[in-house]
Amino acid sequence: MNIEAYVQAVRQDLARIAAIGDEGTARVGELLAGALEPALGRRLQEALSEAALDLSGQLPDGHVEVRVAGGDPELVFVSDGAATPPTDTTEEALSARVTLRLSESLKSRIEDAAARSGVSLNTWVGRTLSQAVEPPPRPSNRHRLTGYGTA
């Protein structure tokens, strides 16, 4: 999905609205549109992430992820057998809010990690915290070697 096309469409809409006024108003509209471009792109990616969560809650055998390749997000279906754990998308799970204070550098690193994963900051933090509180998997005897060796 080409988010840039949507961002440019909103920019053009804003320019048309600003053109109703005088030249100064048109110039302010142009400057605002330029300043809003990065934020609008992020917000569109967040909306896609929320849509993926909603879709995932309706899928019995997998979930939907937003992946970013070359700057363009892509919705991908992932079977439950995949390495990425499915997200908890029940209504109860998405009702709690937490205010978290972070240093700017940590926040930037978390935002970068979320972008690399192709998900929103909220989704990335939720998944990471879910993985952190999961009990470690119990060792299985199926993969244990038994026997003896000779030298």
User: CB of 87 within 8 A of CB of 78?
Assistant: no
So what's the pLDDT on residue 140?
Answer: 52
pLDDT tens digits in sequence order for the chain, 151 residues long: 777 788 888 888 888 888 888 888 888 888 888 888 888 888 888 888 888 888 887 877 778 888 876 667 787 888 775 444 445 554 455 667 778 888 888 988 988 888 888 888 888 888 888 888 877 665 554 544 444 545 4
So what's the pLDDT on residue 93?
Answer: 55
So what's the pLDDT on residue 139?
Answer: 55
3-class secondary structure, 30: helix
Tokens of 94: 């998405």
| CB neighbourhood size of 41 (10 A) | 16
Tokens of 9: 């469409």
* Largest interatomic CA distance in the chain: 91
Strands (E), the chain: 62-69, 72-79
Q: Which has the closest alpha carbon to 63: 75, 48, 46, 47? A: 75
Q: Which residue has the tokens 């909306």?
A: 47
Q: Which has the closest alpha carbon to 39: 3, 64, 70, 67? A: 3
- Which residue type, as a one-letter code, is found at position 146? T
